[in-house]
Amino acid sequence: MTTEYINKVAWNKVLIFLKSLKNIYFIKENKCKRFMEAIYWMVRTGAQWRELPPKYGNWNSVFRRFNEWSKKGIWAALHAFCIEDPDLESIMIDSSIVRAHACASGYKKGQQAEQGLGRSRGGFTSKIHIKVDALGNPLQFINTPGQASDMTQAEPLTHGVKDCNVMADRGYDSDSFRSNLNKKSCNPIIPGRKNRIKAIEYDKDLYKERHLVECCFSKMKQFRRIFSRFDKTKRNFLSFLSFVGACLWLR
């Protein structure tokens, strides 16, 4: 995909997905393609909706359609549809903090956390938790406030995982987490924290492959709307994450 067009192979796959849905308005293929290109432009540039170029249609109509698809879970379903033959010999989990723009604020006290917004050392932030396959392709996203510990999402990210290597940095070092992975016949490749009395043994050569999850974050943050959070709602931010995840699989 590019900011100007969606290549034919990628669009054909997206088209198959869209035609399988019964809960969306779909009449003309060219108009639907233009809408998808508009969403790509928005996530790539991080611009305000009002700045959407006229060639993509009325900005408010595009936003309302995006928001409606977000409510229906279509963007998450698109990401899941685009995941094809993942390499599950190993999975990697990690997290990354993104600065939240002022336009993402405005909730009453106590409600920001529900929308994945909070305060950390970086200021007003949001945290993206991710699971990728052995090739660094995104499989799952979770959004929490920026100050949330990585360990809070370790179990959700590895839910249903079995018979594989699980790689993570020392922020996921926990005896209970390791024990749960072992029960699922998984091999935890996680270095121990520096304050451990007894050193943790792990496959250091295999651990070198963990850089792929960092590479995935690097690819995702080339999209301005992921590099910095502009969306007020957690649902829409996750929808953009799912859209970018689908784009990476369609490359």
pLDDT at 122 (0 to 100): 77
Q: Are residues 95 and 218 in the same domain?
A: yes
- Mean pLDDT, residues 157-184: 95
Same structural domain for residues 94 and 199?
A: yes
Beta-carbon-side half-sphere exposure of residue 176 (alpha carbons within 13 Å): 4
State whether 105 and 218 are in the same domain: yes
* pLDDT band at residue 26 using 50, 70 and 90 as cut-offs: confident
Contact 178, 188 (CB under 8 A): yes
Q: Supply the mean pLDDT for the chain.
A: 92
Q: Is residue 249 part of a domain?
A: no
User: Looking at the predicted structure, is the pLDDT value of residue 47 above 80?
Assistant: yes
Same domain, 122 and 40: no
pLDDT at 251: 87
Q: Please count the structural domains in the chain.
A: 2
CA atoms within 13 A on the CB side of 204: 3
Let me know whether 220 and 190 are in one domain: yes
- Rounded-to-integer distance, Cα 71 and Cα 236, Å: 8
The answer to whether 59 and 49 have CB atoms below 8 angstroms apart is yes
- Do the domain assignments include residue 127? yes
Cβ-count burial of 158 within 10 angstroms (0-12 exposed, 13-18 middle, 19+ buried)? buried
**Whole-number pLDDT of residue 3:** 43
Q: Do both 103 and 56 map to the same domain? A: no
Choose the final residue of a domain: 22, 54, 82: 82
Considering the domain architecture, whether residues 139 and 51 belong to the same structural domain is answered as: no
Q: How confident is the model at residue 179 (pLDDT cuts 50, 70, 90)?
A: very high
E strands in 5-147: 90-100, 118-120, 123-132, 138-145
Largest distance between two CA atoms of the chain: 65
Show the domain range for 179: 90-231
Identify whether residues 59 and 180 lie together within a single domain: no
Asked if residue 199 and residue 111 are part of one domain, the reply reads: yes
3-state class (DSSP) for residue 234: helix
Is residue 211 situated within a structural domain? yes
Per mean pLDDT, which range of 137-141, 183-187, 194-198, 220-224 is the poorest? 194-198
C-alpha pair distances (Å), 194 with each of 118, 167, 198, 204: 28, 18, 10, 16
| pLDDT > 70 in the chain, percent | 98
Residue 108 in this model has a pLDDT that exceeds 80: no
Distance of alpha carbon 100 from alpha carbon 199, whole angstroms:
38
The reported pLDDT for the residue numbered 5 is: 54
Judge whether residue 95 has pLDDT over 50.
yes
Residues 40 and 58 in one domain: yes
Domain shared by 115 and 208, yes or no: yes
Question: Is residue 2 scored above 60 in pLDDT?
Answer: no
* pLDDT mean over 117-123: 84
Report how far residue 6's alpha carbon sits from residue 41's, in angstroms, rounded to the nearest whole number.
11
Mean local confidence (pLDDT), 54-58:
95
My answer on whether 189 and 212 are in the same domain is: yes
